[in-house]
Amino acid sequence: MQTVDEALAKLQRSKFRSSFHLKEKDKAYIREKGMDVIQSHAEDFIRERLAPAHPENDGKQTPMKGHPVFIAQHATACCCRGCLRKWYRVPEGTELNEVQQEKIVRLIMAWIEKETK
């Protein structure tokens, strides 16, 4: 099992994953709302859009812009079940349990924290 730091380092070696960055508008939104609210949004998005065994519109359920968490999901390969399978060996077709969801949120939030420094 890899740590958050190991996962972030691995993602940085991907040309595609490392191309994602928060824009100033995203950073301002984070400052305005605070990290606790952003984490709450991440928890909601993962629970509703990624955790079901067969998410609606899987592979297209995460927009490429519009919320800092969406950007972070793409940067961390936590945007769809196919990416979770490819990057983290999470099987498709099974519901994500609470521990898996917490790990995904922790990774997303770590990426956001790095981007806002």
Look up tokens 């898996």; give the residue: 100
pLDDT tens readout for residues 41-81: 999 999 999 999 999 999 999 999 999 999 999 999 999 99
Q: Residues 59, 49: contact at Cβ < 8 Å?
A: no
Residue type, position 33, single letter: K
Q: Residues 99, 47: contact at Cβ < 8 Å?
A: no
CA distances to 4, 27, 58 from 23, rounded to whole Å, are 23, 6, 26
pTM of the model: 0.95
pLDDT tens readout for residues 72-101: 999 999 999 999 999 999 999 999 999 999
In the predicted structure, residue 1 carries a pLDDT above the cut 90: no
